[in-house]
Structure 1
């Protein structure tokens, strides 16, 4: 028994801009017709626009033009890009996949199963990038924990006469080398006494443990 690849139907049902053009012209439905409809939905997800513009131009045509010009950023939904800051590379790959799904010729559309696999890979990639970004953000030390001299997180913070905290060993070396001015403001230091900043050290310890 041969498996059917097309179904004849002369009464199209559905929203026209989501329906396979080949189906509209011939009344023949195929699995790739679903691929076309999915492609239109994906393009809407990327752009936040209607399937067809006021000038009659399809979303597929508009996005294709921007992709060829390397202007994928101009195609992104402004609201989505502001809220999620999604990577341009992921957005470009999703847009390219959607454009392939909307190819006018059915033979040029990827099989639906292949599209699903590609979407799963994109979703996994996006999740990994989100987790990695969150991890980096969570481990970034507050600027007040960074020694102005060494540019590293302080272990023994000490307050100098200018009111700023420095790594004790670093500010001591600064003073021993003949500097009488603030490393931060370059203004003269009233004295060279250093006061351990126990509050800062405790806060840094809590950040390290967290």
Structure 2
């Protein structure tokens, strides 16, 4: 079995952003029959990115909501672990943007059902066991399907001790882009993310 470095919440956000910028650039370099068709692809790409971020944020919100509820806090953490594993699977192994978005949406729908379940059940142990199985299964699925470049980047990023923001700042200096990342033009952001990914 391949060695997988599971990215954390912050690293997954950066990976989602990197994928978004790379896919946006690819779309912009593709010839379309109309501006409407181009706009649709760009919108779908952005929607997929925002959906991935929303999935990750849902896990944080769930943990925060139940942090003071002894009975439900550990189950909320298990759900967040399931989200992290699901996001790792979608972002690191699914190469097609549309399929990746579909995968993220399926995990989001499932997480909503699980979150609703821990709100209403009296004994959350059954839900906790179920979520634990989903979390483990998603991690195993990710390990089996992770592609080599994603695996290498994950291992390198985790092992380097460098935060992704620092890596972006280094490449921003190399490309001589001045100012904060969020203030750069979209084209500069895309160039920077591609340079960062090498």
Relative to the length of structure 2, the TM-score reads: 0.33
Between the two structures, name the one with larger relative contact order (CA 8 Å, sep ≥ 6): 2
Max Rg structure: 1
Q: Which structure's residues are more often strand, by fraction?
A: 1
Relative to the length of structure 1, the TM-score reads: 0.32
